[in-house]
Structure 1
Amino acid sequence: MTVVLTLLVIAIIVVIAILVAAAAAGLARLDGATYPTAIKQAAAAFTVVLTLAAAVAAALAGYRT
């Protein structure tokens, strides 16, 4: 059960990261950025979401018994 729950949470986090990256790229294009710049901002947003998720997981790992 724990493995299934872990995989589900990882999948949800990746989907959220992809959605945030798409939103960042869309907003960058609306702001007039070129495609390479929008892709760079989308990649940065994707990385930030995954890094934040890893930091939260590491912080909460101490509470697991």
Structure 2
Amino acid sequence: MAVAVVILTTALVIVVALLAAAGAGKLARMDGATYPAALTRAATTFATVITLAATVTATLTALLS
């Protein structure tokens, strides 16, 4: 049961990160950025969301232990 929760949560975080990255890339393109610049912004957003999720997980783990 616990493994399934971890897998589903991980999948949800990745989907949210991908959606945020796609949104950031689209907004960058609409703002007139070149494709490489838009891809860089999307990659930065993806990495930021993943890092934020890892930080929140580490903090919650420390508080609940």
Please tell me the TM-score bracket, short chain as reference: over 0.9
Structure 2 unaligned blocks of 5 or more: none
Q: Which residue of 2 aligns with 1:2?
A: 2
Query: Any runs of at least 4 consecutive aligned residues in structure 1 with deviations exceeding 2 A, and if so which?
Result: none
**Residues 1-59 of structure 1: per-residue CA shift (max 9 Å, x gap):** 00000000000000000000000000000000000000000000000000000000000
CA distance in 2, matches of 1:31, 1:38: 9
Question: Are 1:53 and 2:34 an aligned pair?
Answer: no
Greater helix proportion: 2
- Please report the TM-score for the alignment, with normalisation by the length of structure 1: 0.96
Gaps of 5+ in 1: none
CA–CA distance in structure 1, aligned partners of residues 3 and 60 of structure 2 = 17
Q: CA RMSD in A?
A: 0.6
**Counterpart residue identity of residue 61, structure 2:** A
Percent identity, aligned pairs only? 48
Partner residue, 1:44:
44
Aligned length: 64
CA distance in 1, matches of 2:25, 2:4: 32
